[in-house]
Amino acid sequence: MKVNELAPQPLWSIFETISQIPHPSHHLEQITAYVVDFGKKLGLETVVDETGNVVIKKPATPGMENRKKVVLQAHLDMVPQKNASVNHDFTKDPLQLIVDGDWVKANNTTLGSDNGIGVASILAILQVTNLKHGPIEALLTADEETGMYGAFGLKPGFIDGEILINTDSEEEGELFVGCAGGMDMTATFQYKDVSEIPEGDIAFKLSLTGLKGGHSGVDIHLGRYNANKLLFRFLKTAVAEYEARLSWVSGGTLRNAIPREAFAIVTIPNHLKDEFLELAAEFEGIFQDENGATEPNLAFKAEETDLPKTLLPEEIQDDLINAIVGVRNGVARMNPALPGVVESSSNLAIVETESGKTTVNILIRSSLKTMKEALASSLESVFLLAGAKVEFSGDYPGWAPNPDSPILKTMKSVYLNLYGKKPDINVIHAGLECGIIGAVYPGMDMISFGPTLKFPHSPDEKVNIPSVERYWNYLVAVLENIPVK
């Protein structure tokens, strides 16, 4: 079956169209033009703000004019991740969609169901004419995945709805009423490259590949390996015992994705070649033994390569390695009030060398502002002790739950009537835009829900087909039951 033939057909048809339009973060010109044209062709008021956010306004259907105005919200950008085996340019190439049983996925790339299913469902609501609903504002934000720039750019008056329904959650049957806040930390080591390679040295390229990766918020508790942590664990032994010198390292590509791959170039004395290769094989076996059930495709290889032109200064190399081996990564604390929910975490997302500089990027998340600050301080301390310059950016607020939320009450009742059971009420350990939007529009009643997505932010991303239909039916029913003003 083709994707555009799945039910509900309007949603899936739009999602397939979206998948053919390149829309990674910061490359949204084409997808923005598409949604603007979509709204205008329907004869609806359509506005784009200076940040690139789009709002499309649809009047109430007859008899529903007295309902509270609802803002349906999703973000336009997707995370661009691919397996090394596929040649794909996210700024130019369409995604190749695959129907695999009850799932839709892409061919060795991220699918963009985060948040493309949300976008498609909102556009379908605007398009379909036989629905009952009050006044609607479709808010489609820009560049959420790289720092929530669209939400941060919202200005008072751009929307005026009383209720916001965010469609960026990833487990059907759950209603999310709160989320973590976050901030980015950048540690920079600056130095003068060493151009003298020890005589008799040879070079190896180290490649750690095949990890699952995933979303650095919702997947952080699953015990998946971080490619940067593993690579530097090996490097510490290689430097201490095999006279290795580091020339270059590149691990991870996105701040909010658990790094799946990491690479480095090192030099070692030629007479230690065989022992070094044995060490690499030994570490591959150690990594597989430690976490083979979670990371069955892990591979760690050392392959001889051309000598590099420069090396990191030895003292910088040692400080960098010790800092990355020592810095906290993963879950820092579970929420004591909500069993099974992560409260605070960090993701050692990117390590990258360029001429005279090595940069380390970490994304910090917490549902408590004070714990976010405490975790940031502990991470900062490690890198300050290592001699790095540390900067923070992109600080965004969490979204505090409101147990008395009217939209929560409505959605619980509608779900019970539809499916004969209560939905789960949860707080998500990810940075939804609700917290930022709520700061711009105080008093807005907010909730988040969506269909079931697995492995977002990784090439294994997939969306469950039956859950999309249930999500759609639920959304339609909720819009029919929005409270009166």
Position 403 scores a pLDDT of: 85
Position 89 scores a pLDDT of: 97
Position 344 scores a pLDDT of: 96
Residues found in the chain: 485
Query: CB under 8 Å to 157, separation ≥6 — which residues?
Result: none
Position 210 scores a pLDDT of: 94
Cβ distance 172 to 452 under 8 Å? yes
How many CA atoms does the CB half-sphere of 480 hold within 13 Å? 13
To the query of whether residue 352 is one of the catalytic residues in this protein, the response is no
Cβ distance 79 to 145 under 8 Å? yes
Per cent of the chain over pLDDT 70 is: 100
Cβ distance 482 to 409 under 8 Å? no
Longest dimension (CA), the chain: 84
Q: What are the tens digits of pLDDT across the range 73-87?
A: 999 999 999 988 899
To the query of whether residue 77 is one of the catalytic residues in this protein, the response is yes
Domains of the chain (ranges; CATH) run 3-179+398-480 (3.40.630.10), 183-396 (3.30.70.360)
Give the helix/strand (H/E) hosting 464. strand 462-464
Position 168 scores a pLDDT of: 96
Q: What are the tens digits of pLDDT across the range 418-476?
A: 999 999 999 889 888 999 999 999 999 999 999 999 999 889 999 999 999 999 999 99
The bridge status of strand 453-454 relative to strand 174-179 is unpaired
* Catalytic, out of 16, 77, 145, 170: 77
pLDDT tens for each residue of the chain, 485 residues long: 899 999 999 999 999 999 999 999 999 999 999 999 999 999 999 999 999 999 999 999 999 999 999 999 999 999 999 988 899 999 999 999 999 999 999 999 999 999 999 999 999 999 999 999 999 999 999 999 988 999 999 999 999 999 999 999 999 999 999 999 999 999 999 999 999 999 999 999 999 999 999 999 989 999 999 999 999 999 999 999 999 999 999 999 999 999 999 999 999 999 999 999 999 999 999 999 999 999 999 999 999 999 999 999 999 999 999 999 999 999 999 988 878 889 999 999 999 999 999 999 999 999 999 999 999 999 999 999 999 999 999 899 889 888 899 999 999 999 999 999 999 999 889 888 999 999 999 999 999 999 999 999 889 999 999 999 999 999 999 999 999 99
pTM for the complete prediction? 0.80
Q: Which residue has the tokens 């699952």?
A: 212
Residue 397 burial by CB count (10 A; 0-12/13-18/19+): exposed, middle or buried? middle
Position 400 scores a pLDDT of: 85
* Catalytic, out of 144, 184, 319, 343: 144
Residue 347 CA to residue 433 CA, distance in Å, equals 19
| Distances, alpha carbon 202 to alpha carbons 226, 238, 275, 429, in Å | 28, 14, 13, 45
- The phi, psi pair for 27, rounded to 5°, reads -135, 60
Position 337 scores a pLDDT of: 80
